[in-house]
């Protein structure tokens, strides 16, 4: 692996190997980029780490979910950069030049699906595959002005993908428009098993209060008004019994524990030259024991039940995707960490519950994108996409 290619550092500079695709189908003519945690036949899967790449053998088969898109006519245009071992949220990999955020070049793209977001936002791909464990579809979508859905956990196969924390990992994708986004969803998701119309928007003060400051709060209120023009104003509901801090640490401990179970032996086997932040997150995971993981799993089950009751059959939680626009690349490491921790307090609800959440590019702060999210009941993924299409249409009409 020699680095990246192209003007946005989105794609890895790899020898080109033909990847067959169908010449017709619902995705015919659309360019497809693949995050480098997914197997593509003939390519090594590097997972954002040069040693992983060197030790890998070329994949003998393409990940089935990726293959489904190729079989539907999508054309492979390259493997995209990922944050190291998919364990970051900013799109900064110590081993590669950072992908450029075309919507805000002085700001980060977000990670770990950093190259995929840059490729779509920059018009180098129509569809780009990513993944989301802690927010790696939703945060880059918000940062780069894209659509990004975290699907119901387990609904799309992750066979042929590098696991990070399997109880949290999901398959995801980016697109610039809802027509393309829904085409991919139709191929990968099939019919929803949730059959009640989503029509009651809800809000939680604890989440709305996580935006960074007055400017972000004003912009978020403006985005909520767009949603209200379609669904009516969200009803503020009583606080959850679990605080945002408790849920954040529940997520962090479970993610760290599972990540160490999957990668700890390899990391401990040699100096893997892990980048800053990634190294410390794995070290934290090594300290989480099985009894702690069991305790947090019980908290997670309780939270999931409470959120399901809150949403009922037709509720949608409206929330900021992240606290504001993407952080500036020039920010200090400590400030990036503070943003990450604040963002995860918003992002962890979908991950812990397994319920779907879609981020919509409805706002801007200081000229940079800022997304709003809708979180729905289990298996309401395509309904969320249809609702998102109505909201984006209303936004375009009012612009």
Q: 65, 112, 113, 116: which one is catalytic?
A: 112
Q: Per-residue DSSP letters for 25-89?
A: STTTT-EEEEETTB--TTS---TT-HHHHHHPPPPSS--HHHHHHHHTT-EEEEEE---GGG--S
How many angstroms separate the CA atoms of 198 and 386, rounded? Answer: 10
- According to DSSP, the residues that pair with 200 across neighbouring strands are 315
142 is catalytic: no
Secondary structure of residue 319 in the 3-state scheme:
strand
Q: 35, 183, 253, 329: which one is catalytic?
A: 35
183 is catalytic: no
In this structure, what DSSP letter does residue 328 have?
B
- Contact in structure between 31 and 74 (CB atoms under 8 Å): yes
- According to DSSP, the residues that pair with 358 across neighbouring strands are 149, 374
Q: 116, 136, 167, 373: which one is catalytic?
A: 136
265: left (phi over 0), alpha (psi -120 to 50) or beta: alpha
- As a 3-state breakdown, the chain gives helix, strand, coil percent values, each rounded to 5, of 40, 15, 45
65 is catalytic: no
- Mind telling me the catalytic residues? 35, 112, 136
């Amino acid at each position: 692996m020699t680095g990246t290619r192209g003007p946005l550092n989105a794609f890895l500079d790899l020898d080109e190997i033909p990847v067959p695709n169908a010449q017709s189908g619902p995705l015919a003519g659309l360019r497809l980029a693949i995050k480098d945690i997914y197997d593509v036949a003939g390519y090594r899967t590097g997972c954002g780490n040069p040693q992983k790449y060197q030790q890998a053998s070329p994949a003998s088969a393409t990940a089935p979910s990726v293959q489904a898109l190729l079989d539907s006519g999508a054309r492979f245009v390259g493997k995209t950069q990922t944050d190291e071992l998919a364990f970051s949220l900013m799109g900064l990999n110590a081993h590669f030049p950072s992908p450029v955020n075309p919507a805000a070049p002085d700001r980060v793209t977000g990670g770990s699906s950093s190259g995929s977001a840059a490729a779509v936002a920059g018009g180098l791909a129509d569809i780009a595959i990513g993944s989301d464990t802690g927010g790696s579809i939703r945060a880059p979508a918000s940062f780069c002005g894209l659509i990004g859905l975290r699907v119901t956990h387990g609904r799309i196969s992750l066979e042929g993908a590098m696991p990070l924390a399997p109880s949290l990992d999901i398959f995801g994708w980016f697109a610039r428009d809802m027509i393309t986004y829904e085409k991919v969803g139709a191929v990968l998701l099939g019919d929803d098993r949730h059959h009640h119309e989503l029509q009651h928007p809800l809000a939680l003060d604890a989440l709305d209060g996580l935006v960074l400051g007055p400017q972000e709060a004003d912009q978020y209120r403006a985005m909520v008004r767009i949603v209200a023009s379609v669904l009516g104003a969200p009803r503020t509901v009583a606080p959850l019994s679990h605080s945002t801090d408790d849920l954040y640490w529940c997520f962090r401990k479970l993610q760290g524990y599972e990540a160490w179970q999957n990668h700890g032996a390899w990391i401990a086997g040699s100096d893997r030259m892990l980048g800053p932040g990634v190294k410390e997150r794995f070290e934290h995971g090594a300290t989480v024991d099985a009894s702690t993981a069991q305790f947090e799993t019980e908290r997670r089950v309780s939270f999931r039940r409470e959120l399901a009751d809150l949403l009922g059959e037709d509720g949608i939680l409206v929330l900021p995707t992240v606290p504001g626009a993407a952080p500036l690349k020039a920010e200090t490491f400590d400030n990036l960490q503070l943003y990450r921790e604040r963002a995860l307090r918003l992002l962890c609800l979908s991950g812990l519950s397994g319920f779907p959440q879609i981020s919509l590019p409805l706002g801007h702060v200081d000229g940079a994108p800022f997304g709003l999210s809708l979180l729905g009941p289990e298996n309401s993924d395509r309904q969320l996409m249809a609702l998102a299409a109505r909201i984006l249409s209303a936004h375009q009409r009012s612009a």
